[in-house]
Amino acid sequence: MSPSLDMTPMVDLAFLLVTFFMLTATPTEDTAVVVDTPSSISEKSLPDKGVLTITIDKDKRVFFSSDSQPVKLKALETVGAKYGQSFSDKEKKQFSLLPDFGLEAQQIKGFVNLPAEQRKAFKQPGIPTDSLNNQLAEWVMAARSANISVLNTAPYIAIKGDGLADVPTVKKVIKILQEKNLNRFYLVTDLETKPVASN
């Protein structure tokens, strides 16, 4: 008679782990834009939560995101009210699941009502940053206020620019922040190895 090993407990454990990961995973959509950040030797990392991220791609488009769904929802209500936009609960929920966005406030309602495949294929034009229609400033200030009210702390602000991003666009974003007295922010980069001194 050969010895046998009962695999039932191992199979049970595998199914429990799969179930746990399925139930705890947060469904999110793909990001609207992928950027290849420049590298630096700075080892300072972004905080884990309470971060507002402004992303600038190589096509001069500006995107915005918050890592907190309640902050996103409050900011949406504030900015939407300013531009005469109201949103249903379903639209708010859909917006809160977006990892980032680059749209005028007036385009958000139509965008979140698109089927998932059309949203994925849609090329977002970027949030307006010009002096006559500076919606980026509205989003930053609304999200900052929401972050303070929801999380009881001022958010960290991060600028994530593509390595090929237009320098004047990055400067414009920094100027917008400085005009709102937001002078402390992170510049997101990839970590590169420190140079080694040769003998």
- The three-state secondary structure class of 101 is strand
pLDDT for 23 equals: 82
pLDDT at 26 over 70: no
pLDDT for 10 equals: 85
Pairwise CA distance, residues 31 & 100, whole Å: 6
Would you say 57 and 35 are in contact if contact means Cβ atoms under 8 Å apart? yes
pLDDT at 199 over 70: no
Tokens of 58: 């190589």
Residues 169-188: b if buried by 16+ CB within 10 A, e if exposed: bbebbbebbeeeebeebbeb
Q: How confident is the model at residue 156 (pLDDT cuts 50, 70, 90)?
A: very high
**Model confidence pLDDT, tens digit, residues 57-88:** 999 999 999 999 999 999 999 999 999 999 99
- Look over the chain and give the mean of its residue pLDDT values, rounded to a whole number: 87
**Model confidence pLDDT, tens digit, residues 171-180:** 999 999 999 9
pLDDT at 189 over 90: no
71 versus 197: the higher-pLDDT residue is: 71
What value does the mean pLDDT take over residues 151-157?
91
Q: 12-21, 52-61, 62-71, 141-150: which has the minimum mean pLDDT?
A: 12-21
DSSP H/E element including 118: helix 116-121
